[in-house]
């Protein structure tokens, strides 16, 4: 049931992944789920770059070098994490957004549509018992130095994915009544 799937969605991080590879056909299915996200004026702004194999390690090296280059006081633990996390993932999807060249809708709506595409991927991963999370480091703004982006396209972060063994902990939410006002 969709409600249970929504409630069971979790952020599962690379340290929890078990090194089992994710088949290309599975990734294609996850991307197809993304493609069915709502989109105002049918701009379909989501764009994805799938990193597998050696490209994951190259991403880690790029991010670590860029971090050391741009951070006045880089922390070694973060450098190590930037290198190791991509290698632990079964696949990484660079989440990109292609701005409508006509700017027929506000940019925030295209960001929101892209986020809905990511939510579709996340729910699909949850159903297939693939752990994932959306990392949105400030370093994403440099991705045009690592991969070719089209004019008007920007990287919004990375969708790390991997199989996992241990059950994720339950998550508590404050009651929805604390967040809703009824106007009658």
CB 82 within 8 A of CB 92: no
CB 17 within 8 A of CB 88: yes
Backbone phi, psi, residue 117, to 5°? -65, -40
Instruction: Judge whether 9 is annotated as a binding position.
Output: yes
Instruction: Judge whether 64 is annotated as a binding position.
Output: no
The contacts of residue 105 (CB under 8 Å, 6+ apart) are 40, 41, 43
CB 12 within 8 A of CB 160: no
Residue list for the binding site for FMN:
9-11, 40, 134-136
Give the residue numbers of the binding site: 9-11, 40, 134-136
């Amino acid at each position: 049931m969709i409600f249970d799937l929504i409630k069971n969605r979790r952020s599962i991080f690379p340290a929890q992944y078990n090194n089992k590879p994710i088949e290309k056909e599975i990734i294609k299915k996850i991307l197809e789920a993304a493609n069915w996200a709502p989109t105002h004026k049918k701009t379909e702004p989501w764009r994805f770059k799938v990193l597998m194999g050696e490209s994951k390690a190259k991403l880690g090296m790029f991010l670590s070098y860029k971090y050391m280059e741009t951070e006045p006081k880089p922390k070694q633990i973060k450098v190590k994490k930037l290198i190791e996390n991509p290698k632990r993932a079964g696949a990484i999807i660079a989440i990109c957004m292609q701005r409508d060249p006509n700017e027929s809708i506000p940019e925030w709506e295209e960001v929101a549509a892209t986020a809905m595409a990511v939510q579709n991927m996340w729910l699909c991963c949850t159903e297939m018992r693939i752990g994932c999370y959306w990392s949105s480091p400030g370093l994403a703004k440099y991705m045009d130095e690592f991969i070719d982006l089209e004019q008007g396209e920007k990287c919004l972060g990375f969708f790390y994915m991997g199989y996992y063994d241990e059950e994720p902990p339950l998550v508590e939410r404050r009651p929805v009544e604390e967040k809703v006002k009824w106007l009658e």
